[in-house]
Amino acid sequence: MFSIFIKEINSFFNSLIAYLVILIFLTFVGLYLWVLPESSVLAFGFADIDPLFQYGPLAFLLLIPAITMRTFSEEKKDGTIELLLTRPLTDWQIILGKYFASFALVLLSLVPTLVYYFSVYQLGNPVGNIDSAAVVSSYVGLGLLGATFCAIGIFSSIITKNQVVAFMICVIICYVLLDGLGRVATVNLWGQWAGLLSILGMDYHYQSLSKGMIDSRDVVYFLSIITIMLVAAQKVLGSRKW
C-alpha cells in the first residue's frame, strides 16, 4: 500500500495537479474570508473564520473530483491497470494507497489555512478573542467531509475509463449527499420522513461538527459512507469487469 501511496503522491507533484488544487482552494476561500464584502472578516469585524468552513465544502465539491478522477480511470484507459494488478498487492492495498494519497493532498491544502486562523487570532480584540473549540471541530468536520469526497471519487473513478465521466459522477453523488437530500427534505411532501432525509445528508452532520463539539454520531456517519464507498470500489475492482 505504501508503494502505491508514494507513487500517487509523486504523480500529483510531478504534474500541476497538486499545485493547482492547493492554489485554487486557498485563493477561493481567501477571497471569501478577506476580500469579498459580503463575507470578509475585515468588513464585519468579527473574530472568526466561518467563511472558510462555509465555502470550503463548495471548493471541495469541485476540486476533490478533479483529484480523484484520474486514480483508476486513467490507469484503465492507458492499460496500466493490468500491470498494477499483477504486482504482489491486494485489491485493498491498491485502493487504500490511492485513497490515502488523495486524502493527503486534501489535508495538505488545509494546512496553509492555519495562517488564516492565526491572523484572525491576532486581530481579535482582545488578542485571542476567537472560539478556538469551534474552529478545531470545524476543521475536523471539513477533514471528514474531504475524506468522504475522496472515497466517493475513488469509487467514481473505478467504474469508468473516462476521467470526465468520473468527475461528473463524483460531483453529482457528493452534491446529492451534501446538499441535495437537505433540500429535498424541505419540500412539504415527506411529513415525518423529512427529518430522516435531512439526517441522511452530509450537511446536517457537517454543521453539527461546526458547533464546537465533536459528536461521535457525526464521525460515525462520515466513516460509514467512506467504508461503503471503498467497499463498493473493492467489489468493482475485484470483479475485473471493465
Which residue stretches of the chain are H helix? 2-14, 17-30, 41-44, 50-68, 73-78, 81-85, 91-110, 114-123, 132-158, 163-175, 181-185, 194-200, 202-209, 216-239
Are residues 56 and 143 in contact, defined by beta-carbon separation less than 8 angstroms? no
Task: Round to whole Å and give the CA distance between 40 and 123.
Answer: 13
Please tell me whether the peptide bond between 126 and the residue prior to it is cis, using omega within 30 degrees of 0: yes
- Please check the confidence at residue 102 and state whether its pLDDT lies above 90: yes
- Please check the confidence at residue 161 and state whether its pLDDT lies above 60: yes
Q: What is the pLDDT of residue 45?
A: 63
Q: What is the pLDDT of residue 109?
A: 94
Task: Round to whole Å and give the CA distance between 97 and 177.
Answer: 25
Q: What is the pLDDT of residue 28?
A: 92
- Please check the confidence at residue 240 and state whether its pLDDT lies above 80: no
Query: What is the average pLDDT score of the chain?
Result: 89
Give the tens place of pLDDT for each residue, 178-223.
998 888 877 777 667 777 788 899 999 999 998 878 999 999 999 9
